[in-house]
Amino acid sequence: MEKTSHKSNAQCAKDIGEAINSHFDGFHYHTGFEKELIETYGLERVKYVVAYNIRQKLHDGRISKENKTWALQSQRNQGENNPKPEYTIHTHSGMLDLFANNIREQQFTHEAEENLKEGDTNEIERIDMDMQL
């Protein structure tokens, strides 16, 4: 299982790098392609690989403080300290930062949807309890 996960992480990193580079025309960074990567690999894997790469570049001023903080929090939860060069996303640090912004936005949207679903369930349970009384 771990070997499969390792291979998937490495392939995810390769695909992210290729996708970022193919969606930047030299002047504009075209968004929206992140969703396809998330559909292919899942939000957790994409977050993990992106956070791993940012964590390797904490000294790089082209990556925002917000993304560095996010990456450190994400990686802390993963317990990953061993360098894995095969997880490297081969792209410009500024492009990685823009991509991370979009992944954080996707994460925020996903969490908000999950909280809304949980809130709906809690509301239904509360209404059900009221009806029983």
Tens place of pLDDT per residue across the chain (133 aa)? 567 799 999 999 999 999 999 999 888 889 899 999 999 999 999 999 999 999 999 999 999 999 999 999 986 655 556 778 999 999 999 999 999 999 999 999 988 988 888 776 555 455 554 545 4
> What is the rounded CA–CA span in Å between residue 75 and residue 119?
28
- On whether the CB atoms of residues 20 and 102 are closer than 8 A, the answer is no
pTM, to two decimals = 0.81
Domain boundaries, the chain: 2-132
